[in-house]
């Protein structure tokens, strides 16, 4: 495996369900990110982790709970989501500031 | 807050034509990035710009970092059908943090 891998690619969940998104990077990067991409809106930064420590929480509702057990893995735990949370959730990683991100293919989430 | 405005929002062009798009902001950025996103995939980095006035090419793509550091431009020469997708600019807003534009959706007519 190379690059940034996200699983699952597609997820449909009810508003009372609990699910988790997984991201794994094989690039030796030390920072990982969660972004939300909704139709006709800019990419929204949700969380930033630098060397496993959360360095930014961009006013994300508590129904989204991130976890970063090590520099290679990032999770997004979901519970009691709303239909408006349906979006493409993108994970990214980077080595050092200024070099840009490498994105995964995303998880297409639909909340019903 | 910081915002990046991309124009045009979408465009249809004929295969073989050159394409130009731009990204503007009211804020100064020290780094500009251009990404392309294919349907169902994550964005892929095309070009990174680190210095005001810098002009950088990647194959048929050329991007420029504006002198004012508040804008950037992307040109695609001799477009082909696989150029279809959404092109995003991004400006570095802080350590490990980038602000993304709203995207330019490109459709190429064969």
Chain A residues whose beta carbon lies within 8 Å of the beta carbon of residue B34: none
| Predicted confidence (pLDDT) per residue in A13-59, tens digit | 999 999 999 999 999 999 999 999 998 788 899 999 988 788 888 88
Find the range with the poorest average confidence among A98-107, B7-16, B38-47. A98-107
Note the residue count of chain A: 112
Of B4, B42, B45, the CB nearest to A90: B42
Q: Is it true that the peptide bond before B8 is cis, omega within 30 degrees of 0? A: yes
| Nearest Cα to Cα of residue B79 among B71, B91, B87 | B87
Name the percent of chain B lying above pLDDT 70: 98
User: Is residue A1 predicted with pLDDT exceeding 80?
Assistant: no
Mean of pLDDT over chain A: 91
- Nearest CB among A43, A55, A98 relative to B100 is that of A43
Across the interface, whether the CB atoms of A103 and B4 are under 8 A apart is answered no
Q: A51 exposed, middle or buried (CB, 10 Å; 0-12, 13-18, 19+)?
A: exposed
The answer to whether A100 contacts B100, with C-beta atoms less than 8 Å apart, is no
- How many CB pairs lie under 8 A apart between chains A and B? 58
Å between A5 CA and nearest CA of chain B: 11
Q: How confident is the model over A80-103, as a mean pLDDT?
A: 89
Give B15-56 pLDDT, tens digit per residue: 999 999 999 999 999 899 999 999 889 999 999 999 999 999
- pLDDT category at B94 given cuts 50, 70, 90 is confident
Q: What is the pLDDT of residue B96?
A: 74
């Amino acid at each position: 495996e190379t690059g940034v891998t996200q699983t699952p690619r597609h997820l449909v969940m009810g508003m009372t369900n609990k699910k988790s998104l997984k991201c794994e990077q094989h690039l030796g990067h030390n920072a990982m990110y969660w972004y939300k991409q909704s139709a006709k809106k800019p990419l929204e930064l949700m969380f930033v982790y630098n060397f496993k420590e959360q360095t930014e929480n961009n006013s994300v509702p508590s129904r989204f709970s991130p976890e970063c057990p090590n520099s290679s893995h990032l999770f997004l735990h979901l519970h009691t989501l709303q239909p408006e949370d349906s979006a493409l959730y993108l994970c990214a990683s980077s080595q050092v500031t200024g070099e840009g991100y490498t994105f995964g293919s995303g998880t297409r989430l639909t909340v019903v | 807050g910081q915002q990046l405005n991309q124009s045009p929002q979408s465009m249809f062009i004929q295969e073989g034509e050159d394409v130009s798009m731009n990204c503007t902001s009211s804020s100064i950025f020290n780094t500009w990035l251009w990404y392309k996103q294919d349907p169902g995939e994550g964005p892929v980095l095309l070009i990174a710009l680190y210095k005001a006035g810098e002009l950088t090419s990647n194959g048929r793509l050329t991007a420029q970092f504006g002198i004012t550091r508040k804008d950037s431009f992307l040109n695609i020469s001799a477009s082909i059908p696989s150029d279809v997708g959404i092109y995003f600019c991004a400006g570095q807003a802080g350590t490990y943090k980038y602000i993304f534009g709203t995207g330019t959706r490109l459709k190429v007519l064969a």
